[in-house]
A and B are shown apart, each in its own frame.
Chain A
Amino acid sequence: MSATTAAALRLQLRGFCRHYASGQGGMIGLLLVGLLLLAAALAPVLAPHDPLVQARDALLRPPGWPYPLGTDDVGRDVLARLLYGARLSLAVGVIVVTLGSLAGTLLGVLAGFSDGLVDGIVMRLMDVLLALPTLLLAVAIVAVLGPGLQHAMLAVAVVQLPAFVRLTRASVRAERRREYVAAARMVGSGRARLMFRTVLPNCMAPLIVQASLCFSTAILDTAALGFLGLGAQPPTPEWGTMLADALQFVQSAWWVVTFPGAAILLTVLGFNLIGDGLRDALDPRLKR
């Protein structure tokens, strides 16, 4: 990369950052996700107890000392489980979005560059996936693969495919008519180079926004599967699974049902705020 393009890129990046920072929502989102990262990174330091150790003399203790957020029905520290759960949620988000966006972008570029058969098959396949509610499709996939966190993540990644495929295909179709693409073809760029080096970088803005929004749905859907008993299995400190275990204590122990859900809400809210902020900053046309 030459010095001028690097400078231009830096300038662009600075403009983007200023744009992003001017939106309050985006900054609140960054703060929430920052806290989540901190909780995940420092879980072993911050957690007062082991998330899996059962204190048989302290079942369903209300919040207080030495259990700041109380204990669950087998005497495990709720705070420790939430902190370790933050690690799982982040991992789920990263893995699901990576899988979904890579596969989705690849299929989308292929469909966008091919006319006729490949495009038709890929897009009809996406129509079929879209015909089912996302959660139900994920449930069906997990039913086939068997319950467990890995299968749940895979299912949620499949569910997210259509959004990435459609978005990539649409931007690729718009870009490939541009003159710079014709110019690159003229100087002899091959098909693969045209796809991934020439066109794809110019389609990244909506994909980045989509990825950040998918982070939140990935965490939400995986937690929902955990809640239904199809995701992470006990005693894993996954937030959705924790809620499922706690459901029977709604009437007696409010702390076991409120805190894991609040953790999910704040995490999802954080990623949604970042997604909205990114969209406003990257694509001013969409700002309303």
Chain B
Amino acid sequence: MPTFVLSRLGMVAITLFGVTILAFALIHALPGDPVELMFGERGIDPERHAQLMAQFGLDRPLLEQYFSYLARVLHGDLGRSLVTHQSVLTEFLTLFPATVELAVSAMLVAVLVGLPAGIVAAIRRGTATDYGLMGLALTGYSMPVFWWAILLILLFSVTLGITPVSSRLDVAYYIQPVTGFMLIDSWLSGEPGAFRSALSHLVLPALALGTIPMAVIARMTRSAMLEVLGEDYVRTARAKGLSPARVVGLHALRNALIPVITIIGLQVGALFGGAVLTETIFAWPGVGKWLIESVNRRDYPVLQGGMLLIAAIIITVNLLVDLLSGLINPRIRHAA
């Protein structure tokens, strides 16, 4: 196990290093004058321009600039937003809980629906139930998230009037942020109706964002279950006279879950990508919407810092999933 962990950590370090190069290149590959880009101003007078160039080291060789950027990043300095002049890290940390709340809820929806659907499809292989479920899964997998969100709004908000269309909470409430998670904070506040309001704001975005992972999990669970159900030890368990529920639930599911857990981990990246669209549509104040706004405002430090942070998070989650599956399945860690 220790060599397995060390080799994985080494790979992670190399990848993170590569991401900083990519983030650095992002700003320096931009056409145009770096000072104008960094400060969002045009027609800066030449004297001040030269002063800024020198002050921020933009006149030094590229390699030197990169290493000073790397040093700043390692000290937790990801630059400042051109628009709000706040530190990128502070802004990110303020908005991040909203994205986590949305992503976790979406994943919960995805697992709670996708896992049983995959199991049922595998048990009823080749029946109408199987075809129906897998047809739905493929449709969900092919769904343009941005349109799906609009359809949900059209049905639940416009036609039925059950759910609100945007933001995290009704404007009638003011909740002091404690954890940053609206569900928890509104619960803690004890204000009547606040929790309900937070929940009703969360349902549609979570459903929209959770649909693709749901479909992926359902497909993966089905194929993993089918593979496991054909194994000798499952036949043995059946032959021993164990109840079908016990065979499926205990013997088969436990082993089928290994690839499913890996897939769930890999979906974290997809969730961040989907969050960009979902947050934009539902005006959900998270990091996805923040990044798109930064692109539209040409707020490059925000885009650069945000990308770096998200990549770091995804790499960390993938590492944890890797280690976890190595822990569950000894074959994986010995293969490494």
Q: How far is the CB of A261 from chain B (nearest CB, A)?
A: 3
Q: How far is the CB of B312 from chain A (nearest CB, A)?
A: 8
Residue B270, interface by CB 8 Å: yes
Contact of A261 with B19 in the complex, beta carbons under 8 Å: no
Residue B248, interface by CB 8 Å: no
Q: Which residues of B contact A130 (CB under 8 A)?
A: 269
Q: How far is the CB of B123 from chain A (nearest CB, A)?
A: 14
Contact of A136 with B14 in the complex, beta carbons under 8 Å: no
Q: State A31–B26 Cα separation when bound (angstroms).
A: 42
Which residue on chain B has the smallest CB distance to residue A142?
B295
Chain A residues touching B, majority SS: helix
Contact residue among A128, A133, A254, A288 (Cβ-Cβ distance under 8 Å from B269)? A133
Contact of A144 with B26 in the complex, beta carbons under 8 Å: yes
Residue A282, interface by CB 8 Å: no
Contact residue among A25, A127, A143, A261 (Cβ-Cβ distance under 8 Å from B147)? A261
Residue B120, interface by CB 8 Å: no
Contact residue among A134, A229, A261 (Cβ-Cβ distance under 8 Å from B273)? A134
Of A44-52, A183-191, A263-271, which stretch is located at the interface?
A263-271
Q: State A139–B138 Cα separation when bound (angstroms).
A: 26
Contact residue among B19, B142, B144 (Cβ-Cβ distance under 8 Å from A272)? B142
Number of cross-chain contacts by CB at 8 Å = 131
Chain B residues touching A, majority SS: helix
Which residue on chain B has the smallest CB distance to residue A257?
B150
Which residue on chain A has the smallest CB distance to residue B18?
A128
What's the tally of chain B residues with a CB closer than 8 Å to chain A? Answer: 51
Known: A230-B295, A250-B154. A133 touches B144 (CB 8 A): no
Contact of A258 with B292 in the complex, beta carbons under 8 Å: no
Contact of B144 with A265 in the complex, beta carbons under 8 Å: yes
Q: Which residues of B contact A254 (CB under 8 A)?
A: 154
For A25-54 the 0/1 string (1 means CB < 8 A from B) is 100000000000000000000000000000
Q: How far is the CB of B68 from chain A (nearest CB, A)?
A: 21
Chain B residues 131-163 with CB under 8 Å of chain A are 138-139, 141-148, 150-151, 153-154, 158
For B47-62 the 0/1 string (1 means CB < 8 A from A) is 0000000000000000
Q: Which residues of B contact A139 (CB under 8 A)?
A: 276, 291-292, 295
The interface of chain A, by Cβ under 8 A from chain B, is 25, 124-125, 127-128, 130-136, 139-140, 142-144, 216, 220, 223-224, 227-230, 240, 243, 247, 250-251, 254, 257-258, 260-262, 264-265, 268-269, 272-273, 276, 288
13 CB-based A-B contacts, threshold 8 Å: A128-B18, A131-B15, A131-B315, A133-B310, A134-B270, A134-B273, A143-B300, A228-B292, A260-B147, A264-B147, A268-B143, A268-B144, A269-B142
Known: A134-B269, A223-B144. 5 other contacts (CB 8 A): A128-B19, A133-B270, A140-B26, A258-B151, A265-B139
